[in-house]
């Protein structure tokens, strides 16, 4: 663009800037927060990932050494990857199905809908909290509520679900799936957007309820499903609180609940390797970015946009 073009395009720069000042003024609180609390630490974190920063000492430049070690010499990194991927691949579809099923049920014009909506949303509000994770610990312990119910109903003596290596991770998947509330609300909103006349036309043509669901509801809902899937996947990769509380920060029993973020936390705060932990954080960023990119690439094959 030449200078002449720019001057023809509108008032001079200073005038435009002044007119936009108000806008930037309103943006300022967010902008400040972003730069000081997000961008700044992110930049320092990247720098630290290239150093051997420990607890107190100076941060010595080590280049890509941390990244090389992650890839070649860290068995626990792979344990954490396995645990995290299992968690993501199980909890995300489960949560989506729960959320969609409940949303469809609630969309039937139930009486007292608002009450039910609030009740189903409740776990999402409190579910991420420490208190619920503590409660989960009690419910799934060896002498917990679940086993007492199982014993009373079926005479079955359950294991200590959360401290048994073969079941511990699945109790956390269940805890995550239970917090389907926010996806459900978004599904509900999506369901409301689907024009009623489509269903009327379909039922006049004799389409069954399930056929209507698979031929109208699901296809028209794909943008919302896509949105939810992306958000839930990112959240699941970052899951931390439940594993931290249930295993007391150890990722135990025997590393079976060693979520990626928990491993990162341990490397930084119990093993004093802040540089290495920063490198782990950046690897996670790349993993999430790849997953999100893959989702978007797949979207054109299954997501239907109306317009």
Partner 1 sequence: MLGRRELLQLGLLFGGAATLLQSPLRSALADSATMRLFWFGSPARAERTLSVARLFEAANPGVKINGEVGGNDYWSKLTTMLAGGNAPDIFQLAPSRFADYARRNTMLPLGDYLGSTIRTDKLMSGVLDLGAVDGKVVGMPLSLNAFALIYDSVAFEKAAIAPPGPTTTWDGFARLCVDITKAIGRKNVWAVGNGARYSYAFEAFLVQRGKRLYGEDGRIGFDATDASDWYGYWESLAKNGGCVSAEVQAMDKLQIDSNPLSTGHAVMAIAFSNQLLGYQALAKNRLGITSLPIADAAGPSGLFYKASLHFGIASTSRQPELAARFIDFFINDLAAGKILGVERGVPINLDVREAVAPLVDDVSKRSVDYISSIAGRVGAFPPQVPIGASEMEERVFRPIADQVAFGQLTVAAAGEELVAQANRILRS
Q: How far is the CB of 287 from partner 1 (least distance, A)?
A: 23
Q: Taking Cα atoms as reference points, which of 144, 175, 178, 179 lies closest to residue 245? A: 175
List helix spans (H) across 140-217: 145-154, 168-178, 181-193, 196-204, 209-212
Tokens 């607890």 sit on residue: 55
Interaction between residue 25 and partner 1 (CB under 8 A): no
Where does this chain touch partner 1 (CB under 8 A) — which range of 40-48, 100-108, 171-179, 223-231?
Answer: 40-48
Interaction between residue 54 and partner 1 (CB under 8 A): yes
Interaction between residue 41 and partner 1 (CB under 8 A): yes
Pair of tokens at residue 182: 């926010």
Where does this chain touch partner 1 (CB under 8 A) — which range of 18-26, 118-126, 200-208, 246-254?
Answer: 246-254
Interaction between residue 201 and partner 1 (CB under 8 A): no
HSE (side-chain half, CA atoms, 13 Å) at 140:
22
Four-CA torsion 99, 104, 109, 115, nearest 10 degrees: -10
Choose which of 21, 28, 39, 122 interacts with partner 1 (CB under 8 A).
39
Choose which of 15, 17, 31, 43 interacts with partner 1 (CB under 8 A).
43
Pair of tokens at residue 102: 């409940």
Interaction between residue 78 and partner 1 (CB under 8 A): no
Where does this chain touch partner 1 (CB under 8 A) — which range of 91-99, 108-116, 176-184, 252-260?
Answer: 252-260
Looking at 73-115, which runs of residues are DSSP E strands? Answer: none
Beta-ladder partners of 51:
61
CA Rg value for the chain:
25
Choose which of 10, 12, 29, 57 interacts with partner 1 (CB under 8 A).
57
Residues found near partner 1 in the complex (CB under 8 A): 35-37, 39-41, 43-48, 50, 54-57, 61, 141-143, 159-160, 163-165, 248-250, 252-255, 265-266, 268-272, 274
């Amino acid at each position: 663009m030449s200078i002449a073009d720019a001057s023809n395009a509108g008032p001079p720069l200073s005038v435009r800037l002044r007119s936009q000042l108000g806008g930037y003024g309103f943006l300022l609180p967010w902008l400040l927060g972003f730069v000081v609390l997000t961008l700044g630490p992110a930049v320092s974190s990247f720098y630290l990932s290239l150093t051997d920063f420990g607890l107190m000492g100076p941060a010595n430049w080590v280049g890509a050494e941390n990244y090389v070690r992650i890839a070649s010499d860290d068995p626990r990194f792979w344990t954490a990857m396995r645990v995290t991927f299992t968690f993501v691949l199980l909890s995300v579809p489960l949560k989506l199905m729960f959320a969609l099923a409940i949303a469809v049920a609630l969309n039937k014009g139930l009486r007292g809908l608002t009450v039910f909506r609030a009740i189903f949303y409740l776990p999402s509000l409190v579910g991420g909290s420490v208190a619920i994770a503590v409660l989960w610990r009690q419910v799934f312990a060896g002498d917990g509520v679940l086993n007492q119910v199982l014993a009373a109903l079926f005479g079955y003596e359950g294991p200590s679900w959360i401290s048994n290596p073969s079941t511990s991770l699945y109790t956390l998947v269940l805890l995550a799936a239970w917090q389907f509330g926010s996806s459900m609300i978004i599904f509900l909103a999506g369901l409301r957007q689907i024009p009623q006349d489509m269903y009327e036309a379909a039922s006049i043509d004799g389409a069954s309820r399930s056929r209507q669901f698979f031929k109208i509801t699901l296809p028209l809902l794909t943008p919302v499903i896509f949105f939810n899937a992306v958000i839930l996947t990112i959240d699941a990769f970052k899951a931390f609180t439940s594993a931290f509380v249930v295993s007391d920060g150890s990722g135990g029993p025997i590393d079976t609940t060693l979520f990626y973020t928990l491993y990162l936390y341990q490397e930084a705060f119990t093993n004093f390797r802040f540089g290495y932990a920063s490198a782990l954080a950046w690897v996670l960023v790349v993993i999430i970015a790849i997953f999100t990119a893959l989702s978007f690439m797949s979207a054109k094959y299954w997501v239907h946009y109306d317009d």
